[in-house]
Amino acid sequence: MKMELVFIPSPATGHLMATVEMAERLLDENNRLSITVIIISFDSKTTSTIASLTAASNTRLRYEVISGENQPTELKATDCHVQKLKPLVKDAVAKLLEPTRPDSDTPRLAGFVVDMYCTCMIDVANELGVPSYLFYTSNAGFLGLLLHMQFMYDSPEENKYDTSEFEDSDAELVVPILTRPYPLKCLPYIFKSKEWFSFFRTQARRFRETKGILVNTLAELEPHALKFLSNGDGDTPPAYSVGPVLTTCATSSRPVGPVLHLRNDTDVKEAEILEWLDEQPAGSVVFLCFGSMGGFGEEQAREIATALERTGHRFIWSLRRASPNVMKEPPREFSNLEEILPEGFIDRTEARGKVIGWAPQAAVLEKPAIGGFISHGGWNSTLESLWFGVPTAIWPLYAEQKFNAFEMVEELGLSVEIRKYWRGDLLLGRTEMELVEAEEIERGIRVLMEQGSDVRKRVKETSEKCHVALMEGGSSRIALQKFVQDVMDNIA
């Protein structure tokens, strides 16, 4: 029997490309499976990516594009826009399953695999009478925290916290996904805002409606969190640890997705950066990069520059100006670095450092010269650092990154600390980020770049486990095969 899965990623390039990689891995595991990825497009920003994907459509992996009205400027607005597209998705799926000729071997619709921000499409799957599954692009720990918090607040017999008091509380929370108490100060802002917590609790409830959750992690990385998800509270669906799912580097012998061509000026910058790294000693360069939405004000940039100069380490620093609203406008490069950095900084560090705008993150991390990575702690960036065996110091800026920092530093011992508690969230309206002074940053860099440290050894060991997990017989390959078998059983 042939099966068809419908993947519905959220309208963001990172989620889309992770979905493509996940779909290709599934197709590698079962030749009776075909997949259609329904791409929700709001504007022209992803036109080249979508064009590249649709051009690569074939009989087993197809792409259908559904256009929304306007680019949303908030996560909740995205949810509303996706809600409006449910009839279009239902029509598109119905057409996909129409036989092209009377004797055609039409695959049976086996279910929907929805993104964490497209859970409303579970309604469409229910209308079509098929199961739904979730593709969770973040880590098992945060997924478990979200489900636990939702369960706790929805249970009438449980004690409730006033979420508005979390910011300054010295209390700790015992959560089953961690082996140690979790400080309330380390909770991401979505749990501290009643409005946002309500939104994400609703999302968590919908997660529980699925038949299973594909999680971008591996069993060897988050065993305790995955154990909770397997034996969790309430009606938690089974979790399949199928990571690392990386979209910017090859994680197997098969090429990852379509190749997206960069602009000529970007190609030149990348070549210069990588050529410079090839000339540096192994493990000597600290790399600072804070994701597509990460940026800093002038005062914070000067503190970072001061710390870099004091340490004496070689560095590559992807520096961009913070945006007042990253959902409306991404961070931009500073027009004149001489004006915002300490006087003479660029001249004094010219021989050992580069301050750049955009950075080819995966290509940089792959270079032997990189000895440490200061990152915002987005889960994709964290997995990339582990894949390449580069220790990190996490500087959370938004979303679940405060949790990622705690898990990586305190729970797993795979990252070093710059600061234990962080205020602000660049994504959810809390743009007032606390200033981190040069002394704290300098201390973190020195610990990060220490050769032969326990953290560095553990990261190297974890890197090997990441590679083995994706090989034949590896934990993530076995989990993926189990998922395919469960999909087949659920439609039998």
Residue 158 scores a pLDDT above 90: no
Tell me what pLDDT residue 253 has.
37
User: 317 or 163: whose pLDDT is higher?
Assistant: 317
Query: 370 and 278 in one domain?
Result: yes
Query: 316 and 236 in one domain?
Result: no
Tell me what pLDDT residue 59 has.
87
Least reliable range by pLDDT among 193-197, 240-244, 482-486:
193-197
Tell me what pLDDT residue 438 has.
98
Query: 272 and 380 in one domain?
Result: yes
What sign for the dihedral angle of Cα 326, 332, 338, 339? negative
Q: How many CB atoms lie within 10 A of CB 454?
A: 9
Tell me what pLDDT residue 257 has.
34
What sign for the dihedral angle of Cα 367, 20, 117, 212? negative
Residue 433 scores a pLDDT above 90: no
Spatial separation of the C-alpha atoms in residues 98 and 449, rounded to whole Å: 58
What average pLDDT does range 428-453 have in this prediction? 89
Residue 389 scores a pLDDT above 50: yes
Contact of 18 with 51, CB cutoff 8 Å = no
| Token pair recorded at residue 458 | 């553990």
Tell me what pLDDT residue 260 has.
33
Residue 53 scores a pLDDT above 80: yes
pLDDT digits over 240-284, tens only? 999 999 975 444 434 333 333 333 456 668 899 999 999 999 999
Residue at 259 is within a domain: no
Residue at 56 is within a domain: yes
Residue at 59 is within a domain: yes
Query: 297 and 202 in one domain?
Result: no
Residue 328 scores a pLDDT above 60: yes
Query: 90 and 214 in one domain?
Result: yes
Residue at 47 is within a domain: yes
Query: 477 and 461 in one domain?
Result: no
Which residues contact residue 127 at a Cβ distance below 8 angstroms, ignoring those fewer than 6 apart?
90
Residue at 309 is within a domain: yes
Residue at 120 is within a domain: yes
User: 422 or 354: whose pLDDT is higher?
Assistant: 354
Query: 462 and 476 in one domain?
Result: no
On average, the pLDDT of the chain sits at: 88
Burial label, 25 (beta-carbon count in 10 A; 0-12, 13-18, 19+)? buried
Q: How many CB atoms lie within 10 A of CB 352?
A: 15
Tell me what pLDDT residue 100 has.
59
Least reliable range by pLDDT among 28-32, 43-47, 369-373:
43-47
In the chain, the largest separation of any two C-alpha atoms, in whole Å, equals 76
Tell me what pLDDT residue 249 has.
47
Question: Angle, nearest 10°, between helix axes 194-207 and 140-154?
Answer: 100
With cut-offs at 50, 70 and 90, classify the pLDDT of residue 95.
confident
What average pLDDT does range 185-207 have in this prediction? 90
Residue 101 scores a pLDDT above 60: no
What average pLDDT does range 431-443 have in this prediction? 89
Spatial separation of the C-alpha atoms in residues 468 and 252, rounded to whole Å: 10
What average pLDDT does range 218-239 have in this prediction? 90
Query: 393 and 249 in one domain?
Result: no
Residue at 19 is within a domain: yes
Length of the chain: 492
Residue 431 scores a pLDDT above 60: no
Least reliable range by pLDDT among 86-90, 199-203, 220-224, 268-272:
268-272
Query: 273 and 200 in one domain?
Result: no
With cut-offs at 50, 70 and 90, classify the pLDDT of residue 69.
low
How many domains is the chain built from? Answer: 2
Residue at 354 is within a domain: yes
Tell me what pLDDT residue 407 has.
98
Query: 41 and 70 in one domain?
Result: yes
% of the chain exceeding 70 in pLDDT: 87
Which residues contact residue 65 at a Cβ distance below 8 angstroms, ignoring those fewer than 6 apart?
38, 39, 41, 50, 54
With cut-offs at 50, 70 and 90, classify the pLDDT of residue 146.
very high
Q: Helix, strand, or coil here: 392?
A: strand
User: 30 or 57: whose pLDDT is higher?
Assistant: 30
pLDDT digits over 74-85, tens only? 555 566 778 889
| 238: preceding bond cis by omega (within 30 degrees) | no
Query: 290 and 387 in one domain?
Result: yes
Tell me what pLDDT residue 55 has.
82
What average pLDDT does range 129-149 have in this prediction? 96
Tell me what pLDDT residue 265 has.
53
What average pLDDT does range 35-43 have in this prediction? 86
Q: Give the amino acid at 364.
A: V
Query: 213 and 126 in one domain?
Result: yes
With cut-offs at 50, 70 and 90, classify the pLDDT of residue 196.
confident
Give the structural domain span for 393. 264-466
Which CATH number covers residue 186? 3.40.50.2000
User: 442 or 191: whose pLDDT is higher?
Assistant: 442
Which residues contact residue 401 at a Cβ distance below 8 angstroms, ignoring those fewer than 6 apart?
188, 376, 377, 378, 394
Give the 3-state secondary structure of 249-308: CCCCCCCCCCCCCCCHHHHHHHHHHHHHHHCCCCCCEEEEECCCCCCECHHHHHHHHHHH
Residue 129 scores a pLDDT above 60: yes
User: Closest by alpha carbon to 73, among 357, 322, 323?
Assistant: 323
What average pLDDT does range 156-183 have in this prediction? 79
